[in-house]
Structure 1
């Protein structure tokens, strides 16, 4: 499928989002500035700032543990902390200053894979096995029609990366060796894309997985927002609509989170400043086959979402105008912070992180059990 113009292409990749949102929410990444909309019993969550020492905008985030996290963003920037964010090491790939990193997937403090977005050969994948001391480029997109948005791994070997539709179908890359090599999967098992449909490279969460084989894709830009599901590591897909409004290149589902292969959350809205984002969240209890709108959704566009480990009901969503928490599995959300974040992730040991514009990085404190 050919692109419908530079403007829509930019919207799909969110390359212009940084400029549109630069003026939003200059609040510092500190507990000061939080504004819960409703009091709640028990501990109140708060983001605790972790100075990254850079002004890059981070949309890629990999939470390895309470102490270890990777972030990736603009100007080819990749940072690593191994001391809970007290210090960050700049491990950016040499010569990558022109690349826009939008996703990072990490297996531990040494092994990580980063995805750069863009038309044609601007879309690339790089991998490190030594904590970012050296990097190897393992994929450079040869097709000028293709534009890659996000990626996910099922285990330390198997992963997939998602590209916007080409010839009417989403393009999926697959790796079986931890991101050292990639191949384009046959398009036969992919449902046809809707006119104008695309994924959003906003937080590294337009493609997510749970377990060793299940993956989901979030879409927008078309008449309706949809979620695609694969139970075989991306070879075949089914698709269903969601109640999150679309109908415009700037609206749809931006991020997904599944705490297992059954229970999922979707967040999104309209990323343009000042535009309403009704029904900006939905939930699924059947693996993404059906979706129900949140009864009390976040009040504005949200670009990232994550389940808290060891909880069946608690999750956090973030966006450029604030953060929200649900303690009832996505039925209702309440705000707890007004700072600007683009992405969020939790590690298996319970360490939860967020990252965003102007080098912002933070850890989540005081969450309910």
Structure 2
């Protein structure tokens, strides 16, 4: 009988080339403090690190601007619903930037920053929330699956896909995003167990944003989520999810671990959902202003801005370019949203079966005639 060694093997820090990742007294990996200071073990080439940091910051800023514009569109009645990723940009951008473009991603429903990084545009991100389609995009060109609204279902989808690429002999790694609430679902436990038993090339990336709608993490589990993954035999990492460089480093390490045939890993990125669960939620009913202010002081964008100022990696010209790009993205988001129109219901008859039988054609024609009988 084969047993699983639960002792975590060493990992390589991509910013130092040494074994291991620096951990705080709390036990998580952190490379940049909330006030923007680099950890002393980070001795990577400063020019290269500066370029990476600027790229990550750009992705985070653009994601927040799109997120804010979509929120405004929902409040103006142009979207039926929107789920913000505000506050979670570092967790998403840092992780998706650390994997290869052909590594397949299975998101939940809040991964707008990760989707934008992969090249998915505003129209595709908003289509589902405007109610004109069941999903927004063709996953294949982006190696990024459509959003999954059923909690934790995407973890099983991702595990099945990972087993497929494993049997194909591919070195693709599958990354799946989920939250602390989804971690309480049975599907999450099943997916992690199946992945571990089969040494699937997977990274389970949990954005622990502290709230499952109105249920705090402490009311869901007494064991940290990353430790639960370790119990199934997954390589386990805990990272400051508001530190984009730490997220990038940890995700790079565990992706290399999975790609090398060592089995799946889990990353718990501790972050915070700055908005409500969705635009239908009022978070003031269950969380305090003091809590929100404490996490605002850890804003992931402000942290990178402080780091870039301290290291001389940004100037007014760079920040102006990012601002202009963000403004253009906001304009594009609004234009593309308003241009999304509802599909013709008659077209639905053509998508039921690959080959439309005569009876279905007759039913479509009858529907079209019936609709035409009404006065405008």
User: Fold match, TM over 0.5?
Assistant: no
Of Structure 1 and Structure 2, the greater strand share is in 1
Bigger fraction of residues in helix = 2
Instruction: Please report the TM-score for the alignment, with normalisation by the length of structure 1.
Output: 0.31
**Structure with the larger RCO, 1 or 2 (CA within 8 Å, 6+ apart):** 2
